[in-house]
Structure 1
């Protein structure tokens, strides 16, 4: 009797209002979609990001995060996210801060099984920048403006920037961004390694897809374990590396891929 693999669950795009979703077999594109307020991150968007994470935790796929593209006909500029929704942020008090509303969502995104790619155009400020910092890869455009102006609003960048940014760009530059409000251009981001590729806006999503294609061509389990081992604390190494390798050495994909490599080599 032949077993039938059940179809993998997919998200219903109609159930989302702050995100626009496009799902494929190996990836999910989630566009921040509140263009009237420059994609300011509100509670609805946070809730929908949690829903996306819950889906990708059950059905691991590459996540591509993007914003609203530029529309030359209407004369509108592209934007990733201008930050947290200030109208909501202003009303929050101590208990709201202690709940870690944005930081919990961004940490969940950073911990997803498969890699996360942030495609950045226009403003990626405050919470928008912190969302991008949580990604594994960041691509940008010359129009990108990234930074954390929170101290100018009487608060700190508490959704990951205080520790992720130093890991990404080093302490001196991180302090210039976090303490002095420096806003980086796309060229700045490329120069300091905060983004890995600088492309024109029309090429941003194709570049993200090309990167996703390269990831998808790898063995999914090897990618998942590589991400987990990479982010493990130093004291977990080399034990965690050895354990992960032990799992992979017995996987069917390891034998199939290595045999295919040998076959190609012999055929030359």
Structure 2
């Protein structure tokens, strides 16, 4: 990879990290969406990098908060996440080789869906959903995580509707994202291995993410949290629509 490409990737990762620090989400969607749309790198490559970054962050943040996790819900959700994460990686490798435009369309559609679903504040339920629903949501999230390296939208929306304390929700999400990242990374390691570029970019990105996170916490944007979330929603929808329109043009559709 050229110096310019590496620099642009780190800039995109820094941007995604900043949004995630001040809003609580957006890292994977912004990084993967912009990198793919700008043709900086392939979806499989940047999805693996994001997974490795997520693993490092989870390894640091999660161990001290395991007592917040509702293991009955978490285990059921993970039963869906782990196998579907591997299925997602297999589909990703197939689509990246056989139908890049279709892959970009799916990626764009997921990002648009994410922006819209996050904009709609989920109404909290009075009682917990059934364990079956957690398994189904886990399976869908794992598939998204395997395909695009971003399992967030389905499981985030579902968990935020549950009558659970915020520390429980946050740490269960962290656990689920970590397990998704581990599953897809482990599968790649034992099947095709990790390229030198993947390891180098990930190694450089980890301190970049740490520095940007500290700066964002110390110097938050001079606007309200609500306004910042709206900016993030709009950003995600624009990125997603750009990918969808570009992929449709590649498939022969005219506008």
Q: Which has the higher helix share?
A: 2
Shorter-chain TM-score range: under 0.3
TM-score, normalised to structure 1's length? 0.26
TM-score, normalised to structure 2's length? 0.27
Q: Greater RCO between the two (CA within 8 Å, min separation 6)? A: 2
